[in-house]
Amino acid sequence: MPRTLNEVVFVDGVRTPFGKAGEKGMYAQTRADDLVVRCIRELLKRNPQLPKDRVEEVAIAATTQIGDQGLTLGRLAALLSGLPNTTPGYSVDRMCAGAMTAVTNVASSIGYGAYDIAIAGGVEHMGRHPMGEGIDPNPRLIGEKLVDQSALSMGNTAENLHDRFPQLTKERSDAFAVGSQTKLAKAYEAGKIQPDLVPMATRHSERGAGLATQDEPPRPGTTMDELAKLKTPFRPHGAVTAGNAAGLNDGATACILASEATAEELGLPVKMRLVSFGFVGVEPEVMGIGPVPATEKALAKAGLTIEDIGLFELNEAFAVQVLAFLDHFGIADDDPRVNEYGGAIATGHPLASSGVRLMTQLAAQFKEHPEVRYGLTAMCIGIGMGGSVIWENPHHADYGKDA
């Protein structure tokens, strides 16, 4: 039977403010599933023209699928969000790219015609569930030298990246980190972050009830001198510090994806169109290089080159992995097209949730930059992978002409 593939569009995306992991963090005694449920409920509220029974799938990612992040989280989140019990759901795990993978999974199903509308997102409560909690890596990985011991520590893989590319100095990483903090502070001052933030009620047995309305991790005003004094926890006299890497964070994201025809039928906004995506494996010991071949794959599938990309949202797990990407493609460290609103070094990186944050910020930037036709969201992924997704700007004069 002949099939017609559907164009897939990004309708809307939101996130909670990101918190610092640990007992002092604002989400210390808030459930992980409540964070992502809050996002889904806000999406439904912001898009009242979307009947709840038209949502045909909920895919939610978490890296540590245990406790309040376990038990087929997508299905539980659907039920807790007020969607009908006929809406199925499932969980996704691709470490840092969990939400990104949730998006590409449901987008593929929409494109194929399995359904028309889905919700995708991710959550990570690293305070309740530290990365690696309860895991038992097969000893053959190290014993048979399939990977080096350093591959199981993301910070060590970042140090390895500094070793492999000596031009990626600590000073460059620190300067990039200062830029991330500065750009986020300016974006907050200009009111560019707040529209897609969902205020989140919090509770604590000692501090009482609260309301989270902005990100907790940012350190505005950070200087090079301050970063130069920080310890290098992964290696004596190393290059990776708490200042040029993302921290340990709690937070959630969610977005609506739909076929272009269904979005038009229901009067849903179209903030981006999916063009292509690519996931790849790389040497686990230098997992930070993953976005490079992933982007090359996505560009090749789209018939585009890096020169066609006008905006970049690159996840800042470590400054060095963003710099490796920029060097490879001949992009300056301070290129204004890159992470215009700052990145994970400032905002925070609750692992599996971050992919949708990148997309939501790119969608906002598309509206500000109608001259830009294509944008890219990309991230490195633990155990040696990379992911990259290319989007088209509906505000561009040539939008959809060669779709």
What gap in Å lies between CA 395 and CA 318, rounded to an integer? 32
DSSP E strands, 89-223: 89-92, 117-125, 200-202, 210-212
Considering only CA atoms, give the Rg of the chain.
Answer: 20
Residue numbers annotated as active site = 96, 349, 380
Joined together, the tokens standing for residue 368 give: 């500000």
What gap in Å lies between CA 257 and CA 371, rounded to an integer? 24
What gap in Å lies between CA 98 and CA 286, rounded to an integer? 19
What gap in Å lies between CA 181 and CA 346, rounded to an integer? 5
Q: Which residue has the tokens 């992470």?
A: 339
Count CB-CB contacts under 10 A for residue 259.
21
For CA atoms 156, 158, 159, 165, give the dihedral sign.
positive
DSSP 44-65: HHH-TTS-GGG---EEEE-SS-
What gap in Å lies between CA 339 and CA 314, rounded to an integer? 6
Residue 276 has phi, psi (to 5 degrees) of -165, 170
Please give the C-alpha separations between residue 235 and each of 12, 134, 157, in angstroms, as whole numbers.
42, 25, 11
What gap in Å lies between CA 264 and CA 259, rounded to an integer? 9
Joined together, the tokens standing for residue 243 give: 């200042």
Cβ(358)–Cβ(315) below 8 Å: yes
